[in-house]
Structure 1
Amino acid sequence: MTRDPAAPQARRGSLPRSRWAIDTSPLQNPHYRRLFWGIAATMLGQQMTLVAVPYQVYALTGSSLLVGVTSVVALVPLVVFGLLGGAIADAMDRRRLMLVTAAGSAGTSALLALQALLPGGGNLWLLWVLTAAVSGFSAVNQPARSAVIPALVGPAGVPAANALSMTVRQVGVIVGPLLAGLLIAVGDLFVAYAVDAAGFVVALLLLRGLPSLPPGRAAAGPLRLGAAVRGVGEGFAFLRTQPVLLMTFVVDVLAMLLAWPQAVFPELTETRFADSPNALGWLFAGISIGALGMGLTSGWVSRVDRQGAVVIAAIAVWGVAIVGFGLAPSLWLAVLCLAAAGAGDMVSAVLRSSMLQLAAPEEMRGRMQGVFLVVVAGGPRLGDLRAGALASPAGVSVAMVSGGIATVVAMVVVALAVPSFWLFRASRSAQPSATEGGARPASPAPESGESRPGSTPS
């Protein structure tokens, strides 16, 4: 049979190596390519800023407590504007929203660079204000950026597009802190912040080439604060009617709350791995190394149909790997276990995000991505609290092993208690049949005029 010459390259030939190599077919789409390179341009600088800000706070104050307060200063606007940003993304052109927030982030990062030149090395209160502003702009930008992916690449391309975006983020997570450390070592905070500002300028130029990306006719309306707040409430009301979507958040909160390991890294560095050079750096890099490796070999992930079942399995792998980490007698074995955990988390993150983007209605995607952002940001912080509180009286091994086992048990309970999540198939997510919660799944087209699902419209 003659092969159709018009078939896209992504469908031609399926060589064995392409089954494992990361699926780059979404990059053939010029609009997604602009979004992807915009993410790549901003990730390096953002990660450098995440290192530079706490360092500068400690240099100004000498107080670890105030460094911790700085995390709260960044977290509060992330939560507030993450939720509001999702509602805003469902009420206005998402391209315009991304342009506005990218411009705001570029300007704020430039001000961070300038304040680093102030006499005395900066000003704490100004640094806090700018840190909160950066967090707020990012919190509004990210739900819109995630919500537009189905409109750019279509339902079939969503998992591969998410894998590409998350992989380039992991590169930033690894490289950004290393570069920031080098700049901090030579006393140049200005350049670290300036790189962040430059990345947002590049992203702004790239995003200007995107087409208009409305959230759907049913969601369009005047943009007011009251309407955005009501939209957040309506989003949660909708979520309560959708067990599958709700569980994409619940399983991640369980995994992070029960088994996030970062809080015990300093103790391990000074006790079990005290003789290992740069143990702290390797421990912090371990999860990202595994996530990056999985991202680069994620071609199979984009072809997963039983997404719910694979998410549960991936989180169970995370739990088992954390058990191994808690028992690891050597640094290299601990890092290997963390890398395995990071690989499992990468699979879970790609598929959970894809499930949200495909199963949520077009006019609800911004709000769902806003909740996703808050869960991703808040879960590890709760996990740090649990791990630190348990490790202090009982030891690191007890804290990690118990958390890993509890994670595996929790996934078994989820599979049994919410079979609709375990049985979720990507191939059925865009079908027009009624869902378990009485809602109609979304059409992938951003212009869909389909009525909003659920008993509470949003």
Structure 2
Amino acid sequence: MRESPAFARLWIGAAVSGIGAQLTIVAVGLQIYDITASTLAVALVGGIALLPMIVAGLWGGMLADAFDRRLVLIISALVGWIATIALVVLSVTDAVLAASGTRVEVWPFYVFTTLNAIAATITGATRFSVYPRILPEHLVSRASALNGISSGLQLTVGPALAGVLVAVAGFPITFAVDAVLFTAGFLGILSLPKLPPLSHTLRPGLQSLRDGYAFLRRAPNIRMSFLVDIVAMSFGRPFVLLPAVGAVVIGGGPVTVGILTAAAAVGTFATGLFSGPVAHVHRYGVAIGRAITVYGAFILLFGLVIAAMQTGWFGPVGPDMSQVNWVALAIAGVALAGTGASDEVSAIFRSTILLTAAPDEMRGRLQGVFTVVVTGGPRIGDLYAGILASLVALWFPPVLGGLLIMALIGVLLRLTPSFRAYDARTPTL
């Protein structure tokens, strides 16, 4: 941050505005569950946004390679802010209708959260591709670690604040806070220098996409860094279950949802904060594999806590904080903190592989794919968890998912010796 004031401003702005973004993600799930009492309806927030996010990630990456990256960031951020304002209006409308005994339709929430997700995907792909332009190469891994601190801060404060604001002030105020916090991120973007392409790059289109695909075919280590994260996120995302967990399994309602979501972020934040030793780790493939295996084990532990509570042996719970099972809440919180810590270890090394091994003219497109993976994978995970929870039980998706993650990562590492042998001192595609 001392080396690059532009990075510092961008990082601080992203951290503050990201708190608001995470606040909105939790609040949308809570409001949809409040209207429908359906975990599947909550899961559809991610499922509906999945395909548009994939398109946005790929297209946004091409935009970042072909145009001034600062301009791309400005436009995508403004689109996300407009979508957030629309959620404020929709929530106010619901509050007015609820007073007369009716509720708004759920589908507009899906529309505006999808638009927000599209904008966030393009912003994320472009922002990360900026880092190697405003930092020396030897500090890129430190920037990745700082992103862990930022993500941890966002995921700690945002969900916890959402739980409290929804319970105390209601949904409209909660969404409005996000709209205000957006300003910090926008100022960080405005302070960037112009960042035009360093060399001639094809305009966004089919040929540009083909070039990116051809590059990935020649980059097995980068491909594997994407694949292992898809495995972890597809089978290890319990957050869509939390509204129901807070209401009928552990108790505590929105406050419990905020605590559990924040617990994962505490692990992320702590790992980023104490991530100095990453500079001394060179076997990135091995480190990533071990981190994701630990992640799967913590997901399994969370599922076992939910399974134990659903037996009914531990007494009734309810949506009020006086009806919380504190022991279950503590163990579930530790499990989710473990997932945040292990996922952050993986994220630091995966993002550093991408930023140091890829040439600048490909970074936008590859960051687009990376952003699709890290944001689209959780949407697949939301659908997986929501559907299996509806068909079987709330505990089933994390129990099965944890076991699948550990097994699949072991198989993938055994099948890819080049990834196991990856050495950061000699970055290879």
Q: Is TM-score (shorter-chain normalized) higher than 0.5?
A: yes
Between 1:98-107 and 1:113-122, the stretch displaced more is 113-122
**Kept in 2: contact 1:73–1:131 (CA 8 A):** no
Over aligned residue pairs, what C-alpha RMSD do you find?
Answer: 3.3
Q: Which structure's CA Rg is the greater one?
A: 1
Q: Aligned equivalents of 1:421 and 1:349: distance in 2? A: 15
2:119 corresponds to which of 137, 145, 168: 137
CA-to-aligned-CA distance 1:334-377 (integer Å, 9 cap, x gap): 43233222211110011111111111221111111111122122
Of the three residues 178, 188, 212, the one matched with 1:235 is 212
For residue 333 of structure 1, what is the aligned residue in structure 2? Answer: 331
Distance 1:242 1:319, change over 3 A: same
- 2:145–2:272: 8 Å Cα contact kept in structure 1? yes
Q: How does 1:273-312 map to 2 (within 5 A)?
A: 273=250, 281-312=258-289
Measure the CA separation in 2 of the matches of 1:158 and 1:240: 24
Matching residue of 1:35: 10
Structure 1 residues 115-174: Cα deviation after superposition (integer angstroms, max 9, x where no partner): 444453796465544333222221211100011111111221112112212322222222
1:373-384 equivalences under 5 Å are 373-384=371-382
Q: Once the 2 structures are TM-superposed, how far is the Cα of residue 267 of structure 1 from its aligned partner? A: 7.1
Q: Is 318-327 or 300-309 further displaced after alignment?
A: 318-327
2:83 is aligned with 1:108: yes
- Matched residue SS, 1:50: helix
Equivalent position of 1:192 in the other structure: 174
Give, in whole Å, the separation in 2 of the partners of 1:395 and 1:43: 32
Q: Distance in 2 between matches of 1:399 and 1:116?
A: 31
Q: Does 1:175 align with 2:157?
A: yes
**Alpha-carbon spacing, 1:110–1:414, altered in 2? closer, same or farther (3 Å):** same
Change in 2 beyond 3 A, CA 1:428/1:270: same
Amino acid at match of 1:240: R
Once structures 1 and 2 are overlaid, which stretch shifts more, 159-168 or 375-384?
375-384
Q: Displacement, 1:385?
A: 4.7
Give, in whole Å, the separation in 2 of the partners of 1:408 and 1:157.
32
Distance across 1 between alignment mates of 2:2 and 2:140: 12
The equivalent residue for 1:318 is 295
Counterparts in 2 of 1:46-445, with a 5 A limit?
46-57=21-32, 66-118=41-93, 120=97, 124=105, 127-219=109-201, 221=202, 223=203, 227-262=204-239, 273=250, 281-327=258-304, 331=328, 332-386=330-384, 400=398, 403-429=401-427
2:270 maps to a residue whose letter is: G
Query: Structure 1 pair 309/90, CA: closer, same or farther in 2 (3 Å)?
Result: same
- The 8 Å contact of residues 104 and 137 in structure 1, kept in 2 or not, is answered as yes
Q: Does structure 2 conserve the Cα–Cα contact (< 8 Å) formed by 1:308 and 1:422?
A: yes
Contact 1:88/1:228 (CA < 8 Å) preserved in 2? no
Higher RCO (Cα < 8 Å, 6 or more apart) = 2
User: What SS does the aligned partner of 2:67 have?
Assistant: coil
CA 1:409–1:113 in 2, change beyond 3 Å: closer, same or farther?
closer
Aligned length in residues: 401
Task: Return the alpha-carbon distance in structure 2 between the equivalents of residues 292 and 419 of structure 1.
Answer: 31
1:314 Cα offset (Å)? 1.0
Distance 2:368 2:111 in 1: 22
Aligned AA (1:96): L
Secondary structure at the residue paired with 1:90?
Answer: helix
Once the two structures are TM-superposed, the CA of residue 55 in structure 1 deviates from its matched residue by 4.1
Alpha-carbon contact 2:39-2:390 (below 8 Å) kept: no
Of all paired residues, the percent bearing the same amino acid is: 36
- The structure-2 alpha-carbon separation of the partners of 1:49 and 1:338, relative to structure 1 and needing over 3 Å to count, comes to closer
Query: Comparing 327-336 with 59-68, which one deviates more in the overlay?
Result: 59-68
Gaps spanning 5+ residues in structure 1: where? 1-25, 430-434, 437-458
- 2:245 & 2:45 partners in 1: Cα distance? 25
Any conservation in 2 of the 1:101–1:138 contact (CA below 8 Å)? yes
* 1:43 positional shift: 0.8
Structure 2 CA distance for aligned equivalents of residues 270 and 208 of structure 1: 42
Q: Write the distance in 1 (CA, Å) between the matches of 2:62 and 2:284.
A: 26
Counterpart of 2:319 in structure 1 is none
Query: Aligned partners of 1:393 and 1:172: how far apart in 2?
Result: 32
Contact 1:167 1:295 in 2 (8 A): yes
Q: Show structure 2 runs of 5+ residues with no match.
A: 309-326
C-alpha distance 416-173 of structure 1, shift in aligned 2 (>3 A): same
Aligned partner of residue 205 in structure 2, secondary structure: helix
- Contact 1:105–1:138, Cα closer than 8 Å, also in 2: yes
Higher helix share: 2
- Tell me the amino acid that sits aligned with residue 340 of structure 1: G
**C-alpha spacing 1:133/1:265, structure 2 compared with 1 (3 Å):** closer
Q: TM-score by structure 2 length?
A: 0.81
Structure 1 counterpart of 2:18, one-letter code? M
Higher alpha-carbon deviation: 288-297 or 261-270? 261-270
- Is contact 1:48–1:177 with CA below 8 Å preserved after alignment? yes
What's the TM-score, normalizing by structure 1? 0.76
For residues 183 and 53 of structure 2, what CA distance do their matches in structure 1 show?
21
Deviation at 1:191, TM superposition (A): 3.2
